[in-house]
């Protein structure tokens, strides 16, 4: 995929399919250690140890509509192509965590993409799921939690047009400032 944000969208989709009510997306960009890390954690139904063992194999899926599962295996290949790796931990009934790393400066590492729009899409399409987004760039850090937003807007739907445009502006500003405003 051309942007890491598309992988993120795809991996979060697994969490949604697994019935998660809280999904945490954590991005770390660190030039000093030359690493980009993405962690996606959910409280969905989790996987059995049998599924977990085979899950990054493209020919394994519990889907009934198509025989191959691609999301995790594609992400794993992308990471390994960039000198990184993917690790998944999962407990049945508790949840799943997918952790992936990339060498930051690797020539084949695709850009992160538009995390602000990715997050907004997720929040708008899944107003009843809560998302925690953490993004660190070197020593700057940003944190966004839909549970806090929902408290602030007191009963107004989180996908209300005005709330969405406020969140868009807020996310764009905050993420931009992580990069020292140079993005
Ligand atoms: N967060 C998750 N929670 C529970 N099961 C998961 C999760 N992510 C992946 N899985 C399991 O791993 C399988 C493979 O996932 P993936 O590679 O994205 O392919 P697909 O979604 O097309 O099946 C899924 O079908 C599902 O059974
Ligand atoms: Mg999938």
What's the number of domains the chain is made of? Answer: 1
Q: For ligand 1, pick from 20, 40, 48, 55 the residue to mutate: most ligand atoms within 8 Å of CB.
A: 55
pLDDT tens digit string along 95-120? 999 999 999 999 999 999 999 999 99
Q: Is residue 183 part of a domain?
A: no
Q: Is residue 15 part of a domain?
A: yes
In a domain, 77, yes or no: yes
Residue 165 lies in a domain: yes
Structure-token match 């997720």, residue found: 122
How much is the pLDDT for 79? Answer: 96
Tokens of 174: 């905050």
Residue that is written with structure tokens 């009510």 in the block? 21
Give 34-48 pLDDT, tens digit per residue. Answer: 999 999 999 999 999
C-alpha distances in Å from residue 101, one per residue of 1, 28, 149? 16, 9, 29
For the full predicted model, state whether its pTM sits above 0.85. yes
* Residue 36 resides in a domain: yes
Q: Residue 97 domain-assigned? A: yes
DSSP 21: S
Provide residues with CB under 6 Å of ligand 1. 14-15, 18, 42, 44-47, 51, 55, 61-63, 69-73, 96
Q: Which residue has the tokens 């952790």?
A: 99
- Domain range holding 57? 4-178
Whether residue 117 lies inside any domain: the answer is yes
Regions of the chain where pLDDT drops below 50: 67
What CATH number is associated with residue 103?
A: 3.30.565.10
Confidence (pLDDT) at 55: 81
Nearest ligand to the CA of 96 is 1
Backbone angles phi, psi at 95, to 5 degrees: 150, -175
């Amino acid at each position: 995929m051309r942007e890491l944000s598309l992988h993120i969208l795809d991996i979060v989709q697994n969490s949604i399919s697994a019935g998660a009510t809280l999904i945490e997306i954590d991005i770390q960009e660190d030039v000093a250690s030359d690493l980009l890390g993405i962690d996606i954690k959910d409280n969905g139904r989790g996987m059995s140890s049998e599924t977990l063992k085979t899950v990054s194999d493209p020919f394994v899926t519990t889907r009934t509509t198509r025989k191959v599962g691609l999301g995790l295996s594609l992400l794993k290949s992308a990471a390994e192509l960039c000198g990184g790796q993917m690790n998944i931990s999962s407990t049945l009934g508790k949840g799943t965590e997918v952790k992936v790393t990339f060498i930051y400066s690797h020539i084949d590492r695709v850009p992160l993409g538009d995390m602000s729009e990715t997050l907004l899409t997720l929040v708008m399409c899944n107003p009843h799921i809560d998302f925690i987004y953490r993004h660190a760039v070197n020593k700057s850090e940003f944190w966004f939690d839909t549970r806090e937003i929902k408290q602030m807007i007191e009963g107004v739907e989180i996908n209300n047009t005005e709330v969405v445009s406020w969140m868009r502006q807020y996310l764009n500003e905050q993420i931009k400032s992580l990069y020292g405003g140079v993005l």
